[in-house]
Amino acid sequence: MIRVRFAPSPTGYLHIGAARSALFNWLFARKVGGKFLLRIEDTDLQRSTDESTRSIIEGLEWLGLDYDEDIVFQSANAPQHRAAANRLVAEGKAYRDFTPKEKRDDASIKQGIADRARAQSTEGSDHRSNPYRDLPREESDRRAAAGEPFAVRLKVAHEGKTSFEDIVYGAQERNYSEIEDLALLRSDGHPLYNLSVVIDDIEMGITHVIRGQDHITNTHKQILLYDALGTPVPKFAHLPLILAPNKGKLSKRKHGEVVSLTTYRERGFVPAAFRNFLALLGWSPPDTKEIMKLEELTQEFSLEGIGRANAIFNFQENDPRHWTDDKALWMNAEYIRTISRDQLLPMVKAELRANKLWREEYEDEDREWFAKTVDLIRQRFHTLKDFSSQGRAYFSDDFDFEDAAVNKNLKKGPRLKELLPALADRLEEMDPFTAETSEAALRQYAEEQGVKAGLLINGSRTMLTGQAVGPSMFEVFAILGKDRSVTRLRSGVPWF
């Protein structure tokens, strides 16, 4: 039985890179009939928050990625992690390190690492030079018993190398000389990442570890741990990273909300669309078809189809039109205009409701009208937000007139101030009032008045919707109905 897991640390919003890892894990599990598990890596108590855990769970739910079995909270397994470390010490595979803990400040950590490495190479010391590495057991036990604080480190052999066959990146090797005696337990007894991950993965029966490429180095350390523990090593598939447009790391601090999955929900993305877009970042289907529903994605997905080069998430921070990747935006629009009514209507309902535009009749006697209206306007919308902003005039009489539209379609034709109310009089007599009859009436009236039909059409569009763009005007007349059409044509509102 194949078992995979998504193991985020709850230290903030759900990053789109993490969301993609979750997606790939899920697709793989569903494709092969395995289990997809969720583990919250909350061992860093200071940084972990419940709110973040909630956002991760909600994010997965939004993307439609359901997980099997109960969520595992890593912090709950700390006793097992400690026990494993102690067992390794007892077996002589790990040792207590009584070196006093160094003070580190996070800001300069990377620099510190490089500096230390430089210093180490010049003074000739290596990863095996820890003075406590070969401390006699009796002395180690005595000092521990006396209450002296210590960290626990894995005893990595002097000679040898780790190797594994990465499903994405191929054969990987690392000399032991490149690997330090990694810390397993902090001097306060707190288990560290690499230990916890391995113990939990073993405990959960994980067979395939699918995670970001930034973990490749960790994988070598973890293999050492599997070996020390005498446990079979799972298969690994590392994923290329998602980078910012400058090829740098995508981070909240630098790039803001565009990296947070929550943003896409808040800004009107259809979950299926974003999921589809995410799937195409680093993975490509066997054929050229890119728009795929979940079932298709699942069917086509394979670890072998994952590329090795990091992908750039292409967006322009200062341009509202391109606030996120163009292709994601395009895909969202594509979904909005093509998904079934049954799928779309609930999303539109939520959007309208959030903006106090929803009326219960839309699910009752005005049900058909609502569906037809949505079908009419969805064609040119890019996000669900558009239903409450650009689409506002269809659901409320309280809508704004865009200055540009008023200038272009109304004020440039001074006669419209009289023509439009007069047109309203004509329309009022139509029965039935349909796209066809209103068109006939408008065109005839334009001819009588010696003006172009377009003048009346565009003027009407702005009077009825406040905008310069929108669906075919006669469809709008029909959808809005005679009363509202006539009333809006007569209202002098935008003229003042």
Site residues for RNA, 443-462, by CB under 7 A, read 453-454, 457-458, 461
User: In this complex, which beta carbon is closest to RNA, that of residue 362 or of residue 475?
Assistant: 475
Task: Name the amino acid, one letter, at 243.
Answer: L
User: In this complex, which beta carbon is closest to RNA, that of residue 251 or of residue 353?
Assistant: 251
Residue 275 near residue 63, CB atoms below 8 Å? yes
Cα 232 to Cα 193: distance, rounded to the nearest angstrom? 19
> Could you give the string, one character per residue 401-440, with x where binding to RNA holds by CB under 7 A and - elsewhere?
----------------------------------------
Residue 464 near residue 416, CB atoms below 8 Å? no
Does 282 sit near RNA (CB under 7 A)?
Answer: yes
Options 157-165, 213-221, 259-267, 480-488: segment touching RNA (CB under 7 A): 213-221
* Coil, strand or helix at 260: strand
Does 106 sit near RNA (CB under 7 A)?
Answer: yes
Q: Quote helix, strand, coil % in the chain, to nearest 5.
A: 55, 10, 35
What are the residues whose beta carbons fall under 8 Å from the beta carbon of 371, sequence distance 6 or more?
Answer: 341, 345
User: In this complex, which beta carbon is closest to RNA, that of residue 90 or of residue 109?
Assistant: 109
**What's the min distance (Å) between Cβ of 106 and RNA?**
6
- Which residue has 């894990």 as its token pair? 25
Residue 272 near residue 251, CB atoms below 8 Å? no
Does 160 sit near RNA (CB under 7 A)?
Answer: no
Task: Name the amino acid, one letter, at 72.
Answer: V
Does 47 sit near RNA (CB under 7 A)?
Answer: yes
> Active-site residue 254, yes or no?
no
Options 54-62, 268-276, 281-289, 353-361: segment touching RNA (CB under 7 A): 281-289
**What's the min distance (Å) between Cβ of 361 and RNA?**
27
Residue selected from 76, 83, 117, 493 as contacting RNA according to rule CB under 7 A: 117
Cα 184 to Cα 178: distance, rounded to the nearest angstrom? 17
| Binders of RNA in range 313-342 (CB under 7 A) | 314, 325-327, 330, 333, 337
User: In this complex, which beta carbon is closest to RNA, that of residue 391 or of residue 470?
Assistant: 470
| Binders of RNA in range 131-150 (CB under 7 A) | 149-150
**What is the C-alpha R_g of the chain?**
31
* Coil, strand or helix at 4: strand
# chain residues binding RNA, by CB under 7 A: 88
Task: Return the bridge partners of 173, or none.
Answer: 163
Cα 392 to Cα 397: distance, rounded to the nearest angstrom? 8
Burial of 54 from C-beta contacts in 10 A (0-12 / 13-18 / 19+): exposed
- Crossing angle, helix 473-490 and helix 416-428, to 10 degrees? 110
**What's the min distance (Å) between Cβ of 322 and RNA?**
8
**What's the min distance (Å) between Cβ of 186 and RNA?**
4
Please pick, among 101, 161, 252, 452, the residue that the annotation labels catalytic. 252
Does 97 sit near RNA (CB under 7 A)?
Answer: yes
Residue selected from 2, 57, 135, 243 as contacting RNA according to rule CB under 7 A: 243
> Could you give the string, one character per residue 173-212, with x where binding to RNA holds by CB under 7 A and - elsewhere?
-x---x-x--x--xxx-x-xxx------------------
Residue 260 near residue 58, CB atoms below 8 Å? no
Residue selected from 203, 227, 257, 290 as contacting RNA according to rule CB under 7 A: 290
Residue selected from 79, 131, 147, 170 as contacting RNA according to rule CB under 7 A: 170
Residue 140 near residue 95, CB atoms below 8 Å? yes
Residue selected from 83, 113, 354, 493 as contacting RNA according to rule CB under 7 A: 113
Does 248 sit near RNA (CB under 7 A)?
Answer: yes
**What's the min distance (Å) between Cβ of 352 and RNA?**
21
Per-residue CA distances from 471 to 385, 456, 479 (Å): 17, 15, 11
Token pair recorded at residue 282 = 């680093």
User: In this complex, which beta carbon is closest to RNA, that of residue 291 or of residue 354?
Assistant: 291
User: In this complex, which beta carbon is closest to RNA, that of residue 24 or of residue 362?
Assistant: 24
**Cα angle: 385, vertex 388, 389; to 5 degrees:** 80
Catalytic positions are 252
